[in-house]
């Protein structure tokens, strides 16, 4: 990290939330031409959580945020900034961060949304960490949340089996010393991949019209194989890069917590990096791909399974629409 850094940021609390309603593979078999075995074999997903109508990304975010605050014994007003990583904001504006700030009662906090699809949480985590590192803030909340069901075409079997809804929130604070907290990050963008995973309608290029609705332009469009190939290659490459420049081997990692897009992408990365099998955190079977929610949800799974302890060396990784790519190295702080 650069010489100007005054404090290393650490994650001091984590809270997650998924809506209670389940959408299982068996449910999907009744909706589209698919089957449980194909979904399990090709993606590793068994079920996903889906928000009820009227429940938005800010609602999931607030639930996750409250859990993180209570874990740390803080009040909403103790937060100085709230960053919401999402591709499904409640609306184009105001930002979901503003809605969360109000619903939470985080008087005095400012904030904004960050758009980087599946990499948005790891990007936002670093943005928040920089506010801590520069000394600008002492308590920043970073939320990764998506209601993917709001932009999925449930007649398209190529996409509807993959995604789910969920949220996770972390609190960032200055670390007391360098034994815990953020160590390093690498982020990349390859905009040439924009056409492989996108939602064409609803922005300034194609504002909502009857035609955009008829053409299903307000749904996720994905070239699954193109994304898969890129993700398998890039996730491993960026992880190798961050390990190498920190003088580490894959086997040094205690917890590998990647974006959960496809079990095969995760295991391919783990094999290539030579990770210890017990270090690889996978919960895609229970949640599907919750976009910005996956990494904090997987952190929580690791914690609940007793696989995340103070001082553990953690590698976060993601590849998402854009294409966006990210890797973060940190030591778990509590």
Residues engaged in binding ligand UT7 (CB under 6 A): 34, 38, 42-43, 118, 157-158, 161-162, 197, 224-225, 227-228, 231, 261-262, 265, 289, 320
Angle of helix 36-43 versus helix 263-273 axis, rounded to 10? 30
CB of 35 to ligand UT7, least distance (A): 6
21 with 166: CB under 8 angstroms?
no
Task: Compare residues 42 and 216 and give the one whose CB is closer to ligand UT7.
Answer: 42
Kindly name the residue from 259, 262, 283, 286 that is annotated as catalytic.
Answer: 259
Task: Compare residues 80 and 146 and give the one whose CB is closer to ligand UT7.
Answer: 146
CB of 97 to ligand UT7, least distance (A): 22
Q: How is 92-127 classified by DSSP, letter by letter?
A: SSS-HHHHHHHHHT-TT-EEEEE--GGGHHHHHHHH
172 with 142: CB under 8 angstroms?
yes
- Residue 83's beta-bridge partner residues? 112, 142
Alpha carbon distances (Å) from 192 to 67, 122, 149 = 39, 21, 26
Say how far apart CA 285 and CA 191 lie, in whole Å. 30
Task: Compare residues 35 and 212 and give the one whose CB is closer to ligand UT7.
Answer: 35
Q: Is 118 a catalytic residue?
A: yes
Kindly name the residue from 25, 49, 98, 118 that is annotated as catalytic.
Answer: 118
CB of 149 to ligand UT7, least distance (A): 15
CB of 196 to ligand UT7, least distance (A): 9
Task: Compare residues 231 and 317 and give the one whose CB is closer to ligand UT7.
Answer: 231
CB of 225 to ligand UT7, least distance (A): 5
CB of 212 to ligand UT7, least distance (A): 22
Task: Compare residues 10 and 234 and give the one whose CB is closer to ligand UT7.
Answer: 234
Query: Measured over all CA atoms, what is the biggest interatomic distance in the chain, rounded to whole angstroms?
Result: 58
Q: Is 239 a catalytic residue?
A: no
Residue 281: helix, strand or coil by DSSP? coil
Say how far apart CA 21 and CA 12 lie, in whole Å. 29
Residue with tokens 């194609």: 206
Task: Compare residues 29 and 71 and give the one whose CB is closer to ligand UT7.
Answer: 29
Q: Is 102 a catalytic residue?
A: no
Closest residue (Cβ) to ligand UT7? Answer: 224
Say how far apart CA 244 and CA 186 lie, in whole Å. 12
Q: How is 256-274 classified by DSSP, letter by letter?
A: EEE--S-HHHHHHHHHHHT
Q: How is 17-31 classified by DSSP, letter by letter?
A: E--S-EEEHHHHHTT
Q: Which positions are catalytic?
A: 118, 259, 289
């Amino acid at each position: 990290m650069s010489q100007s850094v005054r404090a290393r940021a650490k994650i001091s609390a984590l809270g997650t939330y998924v809506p209670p309603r389940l959408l299982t593979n068996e449910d999907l078999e009744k909706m589209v031409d698919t089957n449980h075995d194909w979904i399990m074999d090709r993606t590793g997903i068994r079920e996903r959580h889906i928000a009820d109508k009227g429940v938005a990304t800010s609602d999931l975010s607030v639930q996750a945020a409250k859990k993180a605050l209570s874990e740390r014994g803080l009040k909403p007003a103790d937060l100085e900034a709230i960053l919401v990583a999402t591709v499904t904001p409640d609306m184009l504006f105001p930002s979901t961060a503003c809605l969360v700030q109000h619903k939470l009662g985080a008087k005095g906090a400012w904030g904004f949304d960050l758009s980087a699809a599946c990499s948005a949480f790891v990007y936002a985590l670093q943005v928040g960490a920089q506010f801590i590192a520069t000394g600008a803030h002492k308590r920043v909340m970073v939320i990764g949340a998506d209601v993917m069901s709001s932009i999925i075409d449930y007649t398209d079997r190529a996409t509807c089996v993959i995604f789910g809804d969920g949220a996770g929130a972390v609190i960032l604070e200055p670390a007391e010393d360098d034994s815990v907290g953020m160590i390093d990050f690498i982020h990349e963008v390859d905009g040439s991949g924009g056409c492989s995973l996108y939602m064409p309608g609803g922005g300034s290029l194609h504002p909502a019209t009857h035609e955009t609705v008829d053409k299903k332009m307000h749904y996720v469009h994905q070239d699954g194989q193109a994304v898969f190939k890129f993700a398998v290659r890039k996730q491993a490459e960026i992880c190798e890069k961050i390990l190498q420049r920190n003088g580490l081997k894959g086997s040094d990692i205690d917890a590998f917590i990647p974006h959960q897009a496809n079990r095969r992408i995760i295991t391919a990365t783990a094999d290539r990096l030579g990770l210890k099998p017990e270090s690889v955190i996978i919960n895609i079977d229970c949640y599907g791909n919750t976009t910005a929610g996956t990494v904090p949800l997987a952190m929580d799974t690791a914690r609940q399974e007793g696989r995340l302890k103070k001082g553990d060396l953690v590698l976060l990784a993601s590849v998402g629409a854009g294409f966006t790519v990210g890797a973060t190295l940190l030591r778990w702080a509590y």
